[in-house]
Amino acid sequence: MINDFALSLRARKHDIEVLTGLPNYPAGKFFKGYNYSGPYSEYYQDIPVWRCPLIPRGNASKWRLTINYLSFAFLSCIRGLFVCRRPFDVILVFENSPVTVGIPARFIKMLSGARLFFWVQDLWPESLSATGAIRSSIILKWVGKLTQWIYKGCDCILIQSQAFRESVIKYGAKLDQIRYFPNYAEDIYKPVTLSVDAPENALMPAGFRVMFAGNIGKAQDFETILAAAKLTQIKPDIQWVILGDGRNRDWVEDKIRRCNLTNVHLLGRYDKEKMPAFFSLADVMLVSLKREPIFALTVPAKVQSYLACGKAILASLDGEGARIINEARAGLTVPAENPRELADAVLRLSTLGSEALMEMGRNARTYFETHFSRTNLLDDFEGWLNEFSNDSKINK
């Protein structure tokens, strides 16, 4: 989404430059055409992109991720000395994890005197403890102090969920700095109808299709998804389709094999441009998160994509994400980490009939257009740019 956001601002005549690392997510190794020799400068359409070296994620172990995060934070500060000398007005950080991306942003702010906008997608240090990535109270305390230092250096903090407000205030943000700025879905996400001979059709199992699309990680609670799939084997028509990849894929594959889950289909990872086509072949889209206080505050970005495509949604999660789906009347929600209730919800949805599911899909699309319109959100963002640029009280 951040690529689309940059292009959208560029289309509105803003002068955009990007500082980022060598691409290595999610595979853990540099993308084809990239290595330690670069390229370190290129264009994304007509937007200059400055890349900095880093240590790839590798197998995404705790130590490898730590090195990956810190290498970017340190080396992008150095890179910023050479490419961020212009008198920028605003630095925007897209913080989808880790919070350490705020370190070079604060450094560049000191160099340029620019305003600093920090778009919080993931709460730190809470997400570290929730996923079990870090259990040491000492390390979590230091990450909290780092988060506080970053927030205090920001002029405007954008939160993707209303429920994030309390946490960012706890770690140093002031109430008048915070703006609610949810994710949207790119224009490619919209209802589509495929022809019978579309290649995606050939990949789909016959039956009632429950589709999950996105990261296969610990936070997504595949233990519950696979347990629910096992419970629905009493109805052979129900099929679970998983699109995506992630750190837990090997575990999921092994679990499917050991439990003989013939109703679960791992299709792998596809470009986002193909997602609306796949979504159109699902009867219901699935979103899930583990039962953790931090995840109850979060709205997974896939929710907006599902809404935009006009699909009925089944949510196995708590809190803000469930609230949105219920408010939209776009599907059913069940508590996180409850396989029986998730299975029962799938069984219920499978008996509703196509018209009821289509009505949920229409409600989803209407809610998306009302609450997550890209045009409206860009208007809001430009308003905040003007507001903070003209505010003499903002942080220096």
What confidence tier does 395 reach under pLDDT thresholds 50, 70, 90? Answer: very low
Question: For the residues 114-126, what does the mean pLDDT come to?
Answer: 94
Average pLDDT over residues 182-198: 93
- Whether the pLDDT of residue 310 is over 80: the answer is yes
For residue 334, the cross-strand partners are: 316
Beta bridge partners of 179: 158
Q: Quick one: pLDDT at residue 391? A: 63
Indicate the range of 1-10, 295-304, 336-345, 382-391 predicted with least confidence: 382-391
pLDDT at residue 152 is higher than 50: yes
Structure tokens at 248: 């837990």
pLDDT recorded at residue 36? 95
User: Within 10 A of 374 (CB to CB), how many other CB atoms are there?
Assistant: 16
The size of the chain, in residues, is 396
pLDDT at 27: 84
Kindly state the average pLDDT of the residues 229-243: 97
Q: Mean pLDDT across the stretch 94-116?
A: 93
**What mean pLDDT comes out for the span 98-127?**
93
Does residue 393 have a pLDDT over 70? no
- Residue 390 has a pLDDT of 66
At residue 394, the pLDDT reads 42
Do strands 41-44 and 47-52 pair parallel, antiparallel, or not at all (unpaired)? antiparallel
Domains and CATH numbers, the chain: 2-186+373-389 (3.40.50.2000), 199-371 (3.40.50.2000)
Mean pLDDT of the chain: 94
Confidence class for position 359, pLDDT limits 50, 70, 90: very high
Average the pLDDT over 221-245 and give the result. 97
Q: What is the DSSP string of 305-325?
A: HHHHTT--EEEE--THHHHHH
Q: Determine the residue type at 376.
A: N
State yes or no: pLDDT of 115 exceeds 90: yes
Residue 57 has pLDDT above 70, yes or no: yes
Higher pLDDT, 90 or 97: 90
Looking at residue 339, its pLDDT comes to 98
The pLDDT value recorded for residue 59 is: 86
Question: Average pLDDT in the 189-199 region?
Answer: 94
Report pLDDT for 135. 80
Question: Strands 208-213 and 284-288: what pairing?
Answer: parallel
- Closest Cα to residue 181, out of 286, 294, 92, 314? 92
Give the separation between CA 67 and CA 74, rounded to whole angstroms: 10
The rounded distance, in Å, linking the Cα atoms of 235 and 97 is: 39
pLDDT at 396 over 60: no
Q: pLDDT band for position 392 (50/70/90)? A: very low
pLDDT confidence of 8, banded at 50, 70, 90?
very high
Give the whole-angstrom CA distance, residue 212 versus residue 219. 14
